[in-house]
């Protein structure tokens, strides 16, 4: 049964990806199929657990939790996701595994550790693997939070897409959680997004420059975004079976099959509570900038400025200097030198994440601050990520 068409901010589809890791070593544990089979009583791609559903991802050590259909409100979702997390955790422990948050596994070597999902829809994953090679960080070691926001018609699509495009560059400065890759400090606080931007570079039309183009309606979206990437996939790989809306890998993608725009640049945080606080902040900002009076300004925002701001936020996190963009977005606001200054206007009130973020920055910055000598060892890394595992299971926010 198809879902009814919803207007702006009348529903929310939230997806959160977590890792399954060995309880003793925190190495990746490719047992997602076993966990889902145990919960569902059969091997399936998706299983409903009340208000939250779970499903597989491309890598068999990644499991996705998502709202079971559009949620009417963001309130209480943190509790719903945490309840589902504990059910999954209880089952995972039967296979010697535990759940872990953040956007990348800190010590994983994908060439050695990747196992793709071997069951339903595996033909799609195999096709991706044949074209792009999925045993790399860009495919098998990325965990993110997706926000699906609805629109009812072209007018609402224009307002929503404009607003998302305007704030998308600033999201890494709120949600970066990936400063460690292969047991070493990465060049970026949000290394996941750097890798994400490159994992389909043999068909550059798929990801573009991550920040989506300014688009007015569905017909223009088809012409500017869908048709060029479909044409390249058919020409280079005869891959008509992959020419669907989900092929698009920009930082926000239109899903006309469900009348929604999906925001994809949010790193997974350490707990359901932290994830939903980030979601609320992003939704607050999108709602603020989706007002009709903002449309003309958003439409004229320079693409190069958006892209440069995005990569600066990816590299530096909350302290990234972003005033060139933010002063255009909020000219009447008080001084906004950093991205953190911008996000203070949209953080959910009276939530622990907001207080910690304003004091200590992104999760990536909090992780790095635990290594004052800027040197890491696997043992030190595992010590920190055990604390993050504790945060996930206790639904708490990691702080120094």
Q: Whole-angstrom Cα distance, residue 366 to residue 220?
A: 42
Question: What pLDDT was estimated at residue 376?
Answer: 77
Residue 253, CB half-sphere, CA atoms under 13 Å: how many?
Answer: 22
Q: Quick: pLDDT tens for 21-47.
A: 999 999 999 999 999 999 999 999 999
Place of tokens 């079971």: 68
b (16+ CB within 10 A) / e for 61-78? bbbbbbbbebbeebeebb
Tell me the CATH number for domain 13-392: 3.30.590.20
Q: Whole-angstrom Cα distance, residue 358 to residue 209?
A: 29
CB proximity list for 311: less than 8 A, separation 6 or greater? none
User: C-alpha distances in angstroms, 114 versus 13, 101, 141, 393?
Assistant: 28, 18, 9, 25
Spans of the chain below 50 pLDDT:
1
CB proximity list for 252: less than 8 A, separation 6 or greater? 161, 164, 165, 168, 212, 261, 262, 263, 264, 265
Of 69, 153, 139, residue with least CA distance to 104 = 139
DSSP state of 152: S
In this structure, are residues 117 and 57 in contact, taking their beta carbons and an 8 Å threshold?
yes
CA triplet 219, 224, 230: central angle to 5 degrees? 100
Question: What pLDDT was estimated at residue 196?
Answer: 95
Q: Whole-angstrom Cα distance, residue 363 to residue 105?
A: 14
User: C-alpha distances in angstroms, 56 versus 23, 250, 349?
Assistant: 20, 21, 33
Question: What pLDDT was estimated at residue 2?
Answer: 63
Domain assignments of the chain as residue spans, ordered by start: 13-392
pTM above 0.95, yes or no: yes
Question: What pLDDT was estimated at residue 257?
Answer: 95
Question: What pLDDT was estimated at residue 226?
Answer: 99
What is the DSSP code string of 74-107?
A: STTHHHHHHHHHHHHHHHHGGGTEEEE-SSS-SS
Tell me how long the chain is.
Answer: 400
Q: Whole-angstrom Cα distance, residue 143 to residue 329?
A: 29
Question: What pLDDT was estimated at residue 1?
Answer: 47
């Amino acid at each position: 049964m198809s879902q009814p068409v919803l207007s702006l901010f009348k529903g929310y589809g939230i997806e959160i990806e977590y890792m399954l890791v060995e309880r003793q070593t925190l190495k990746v544990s490719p047992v997602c199929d076993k966990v889902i089979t145990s919960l569902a009583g059969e091997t399936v791609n998706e299983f409903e657990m009340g208000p939250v559903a779970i499903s597989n991802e491309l890598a068999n050590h990644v499991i996705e939790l998502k709202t079971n259909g559009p949620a009417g409100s963001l309130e209480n979702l943190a509790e719903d996701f945490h309840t589902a997390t504990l059910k999954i955790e209880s089952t995972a422990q039967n296979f010697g595994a535990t759940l872990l948050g953040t956007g990348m596994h800190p010590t994983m070597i994908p060439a050695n550790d990747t196992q793709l999902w071997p069951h339903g829809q595996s033909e799609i994953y195999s096709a991706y693997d044949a074209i792009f090679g999925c045993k790399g960080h860009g495919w098998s070691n990325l965990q993110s939070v997706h926000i699906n926001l609805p629109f009812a018609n072209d007018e609402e699509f224009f307002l929503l897409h404009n607003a998302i495009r305007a704030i998308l560059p600033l999201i890494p400065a709120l949600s970066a959680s990936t400063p460690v890759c292969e047991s070493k400090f990465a060049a970026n606080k949000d290394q996941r997004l750097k890798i994400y931007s490159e994992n389909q570079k043999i068909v550059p039309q798929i990801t573009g420059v991550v920040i989506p183009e300014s688009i007015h309606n569905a017909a223009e979206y088809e012409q500017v975004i869908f048709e060029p990437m479909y044409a390249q996939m058919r020409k280079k790989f005869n891959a008509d079976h992959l020419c669907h809306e989900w092929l698009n890998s920009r930082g926000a993608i239109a899903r006309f099959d469900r009348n929604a725009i999906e925001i994809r640049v949010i790193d997974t945080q350490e707990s359901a509570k932290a994830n939903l606080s980030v979601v609320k902040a992003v939704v607050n900002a999108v709602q603020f900038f989706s007002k009709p009076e903002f449309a003309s300004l958003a439409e004229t925002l320079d693409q190069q400025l958006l892209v440069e701001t995005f990569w600066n936020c990816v590299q530096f996190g909350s302290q990234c200097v972003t005033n060139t963009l933010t002063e255009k977005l909020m000219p009447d606001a008080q001084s906004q030198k950093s991205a953190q200054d911008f996000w203070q206007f949209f953080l959910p009130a009276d939530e622990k994440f907001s207080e910690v973020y304003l004091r200590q920055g992104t999760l990536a910055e909090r992780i790095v601050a635990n290594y004052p000598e800027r040197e890491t060892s696997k043992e030190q890394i595992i010590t920190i990520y055990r604390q993050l595992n504790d945060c996930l299971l206790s639904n708490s926010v990691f702080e120094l």
